[in-house]
């Protein structure tokens, strides 16, 4: 079943940490894995971060979370940035320019799929497709996501759902294609 996440869905934090760690982003050069995990737990429990439980949908089977996604509207970006820079930076004693990801991943008017993750023990069961279908069927008029240019398998999946390349975006250390579905 797919449902809205709740604060107690801490397995999501495990997957989010695994996903972020695999990208080898700069925050791992400056802070310990323990501190980053603690930050992710905090922001997941918050109401305002991009990785808040409020922006998360989970796929649950037999009481266990098997996958999830985070999505938010472009209109929320300023509130999300403000929360990070006004609360997270000071609360965790981070350098002022510390971020997990840039905030320019989503463009005006879009409902953005930030992260889609399936736990390794559940891969191959169609859970990613089910979560992506849930996102696509959200009723939003302008859906977007980014896919690494090197990830042809994921690109083909997204294109099969109707996503088309809009532009290119540089995130972390890699070029991404910004894909979009526009509806009337």
Structure tokens, 32: 């310990």
Question: CA 65 to CA 102: how far, in whole Å?
Answer: 27
3-state secondary structure of 113: strand
Question: CA 101 to CA 115: how far, in whole Å?
Answer: 11
Determine contact, residues 30/95, Cβ cutoff 8 Å: yes
Cβ count near 16 (within 10 Å): 22
CATH topology of domain 2-182: Aminopeptidase (3.40.630)
Question: CA 125 to CA 141: how far, in whole Å?
Answer: 29
- State the pLDDT at residue 3: 98
- State the pLDDT at residue 156: 93
Q: Note down pLDDT in tens along the chain; length 184 residues.
A: 999 999 999 999 999 999 988 877 788 888 999 999 999 999 999 999 999 999 999 999 999 999 999 999 999 999 999 999 999 999 999 999 888 877 788 999 999 999 999 999 999 999 999 999 999 999 899 999 999 999 998 999 999 999 999 999 887 778 899 999 977 6
């Amino acid at each position: 079943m797919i449902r809205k996440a709740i604060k107690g869905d801490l397995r999501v934090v495990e997957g989010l940490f695994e996903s972020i760690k695999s990208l080898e982003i700069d925050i791992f050069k400056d802070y310990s894995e323990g501190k980053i995990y603690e930050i992710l737990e905090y922001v997941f429990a918050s109401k305002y971060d991009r990785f808040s439980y409020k922006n998360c949908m989970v796929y649950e089977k037999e009481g266990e979370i098997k996958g999830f996604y985070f999505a938010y509207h472009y209109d929320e970006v300023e509130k999300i940035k403000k929360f990070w820079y006004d609360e997270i930076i000071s609360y965790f004693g981070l350098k002022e320019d510390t971020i997990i990801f840039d905030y320019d991943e989503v463009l005006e008017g879009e409902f953005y799929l930030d992260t889609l993750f399936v736990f390794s023990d559940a891969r191959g069961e169609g859970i990613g497709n089910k979560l992506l279908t849930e996102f696509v069927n959200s009723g939003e008029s302008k859906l977007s996501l980014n896919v690494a240019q090197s990830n042809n398998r994921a690109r083909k999946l997204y294109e099969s759902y109707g996503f088309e390349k809009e532009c290119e975006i540089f995130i972390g250390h890699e070029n991404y294609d910004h894909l979009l579905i526009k509806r009337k």
